[in-house]
Structure 1
């Protein structure tokens, strides 16, 4: 029973690690679609959402058996409960990447991001990708300092979103439709980063039993 229990915990953490990699790939693909007009990348992101959904379902399906049949001790119980929350955040990160890709698909072949907004949107996309990579590392290492660093990266996304919104309300010359697209995309990036920070919070709780972010 103990051997099976350990195997199931290892599988649970492995699924979470795979989910984080999928979420990181999704935001990169969505950003390529948004900034480069890469239709194939956008379509790949949309199709790939089913993979993250399936992984989330695998995590949720494993939890009742771990709780009821294997009766985990306190530390492992935190892992099981955190896994459910982390899986939800990672799946939502995938959804938000899909939303960005769908905006790119909806406007294709027209580029969603006009030239004046390229720098700020690139900064937001780069920060989101960096956050996604750090999330994968944090899930693997459970390093508290790395987890807390994600809060600073999230501030970078928030600052870029603020710059974007200031640009959109200051005599934006590309029309209301363009302004709405960019405001939505900025919000999607901001929420993506927020969910990554939520993952980091759960990792800190898993290690310490305390939320410190």
Structure 2
């Protein structure tokens, strides 16, 4: 295989990851719309499109052996394929977590999951997670180490919003145990979603520098 052909395969690999990152970002936005606006259609779209993310992860995994076997890769190329596997896994899990959010919304439909007192903090949590997802897509496209490091700081917003949510739930929550459990789970889903986005950024730092430090 010529070096040009090999480079084309690597470009295709990174292209699939970029598409996955955009899909994962779109999924959490739709899931949040389903949750906050009681939008059944948005929830069903998240569930239906999750199969696409799964298929793209499988596509990445299928490309790796061919990339490795048909050419003698240099160290930076090896880092790319290792990172690609880890990034694809993280992005797929981000999609799965968006599905979890959508399923909570569907389970309660047509009743809203989020009572009015929790709406501001849940909205803040959803918006913070969406910003992290968008920046994750940018980091994958640019491979900029500073952008990757900034994403780690943005994750703090998600953590802070989750803490505010939990504080609300333990301070005399008047809507019952079932409601509290739903909201606590939702907070966890958003927090884990953002954590996976940060993990993607860590892999980008490793790809660029050869070390993971974020």
Partner of 2:166: 165
Partners in 2 of 1:61 and 1:178 — Cα distance? Answer: 42
Partner of 2:119: 118
1:96-115 deviation digits (Å, cap 9, x = unpaired): 00000000000000100000
Partners in 1 of 2:88 and 2:71 — Cα distance? Answer: 21
1:118-164 deviation digits (Å, cap 9, x = unpaired): 01000010011111110110000001111001111111101111110
Tell me which stretches of 4 or more aligned residues in structure 1 moved more than 6 Å. Answer: none
Give 1:1-213 correspondences, 5 Å limit. Answer: 1=1, 2-213=3-214
Q: C-alpha displacement at 1:71, in angstroms?
A: 2.3
RMSD: 0.6
TM-score, normalization by structure 2: 0.98
Partners in 2 of 1:137 and 1:172 — Cα distance? Answer: 39
Q: C-alpha displacement at 1:31, in angstroms?
A: 0.2
Partners in 2 of 1:93 and 1:207 — Cα distance? Answer: 23
TM-score, normalization by structure 1: 0.99
Partners in 2 of 1:211 and 1:152 — Cα distance? Answer: 16
Unaligned runs of 5+ in 1: none
Unaligned runs of 5+ in 2: none
Count residues in correspondence. 213
1:165-197 deviation digits (Å, cap 9, x = unpaired): 111111100001100000000000000000000
Partners in 2 of 1:108 and 1:70 — Cα distance? Answer: 53
Partners in 2 of 1:151 and 1:142 — Cα distance? Answer: 14
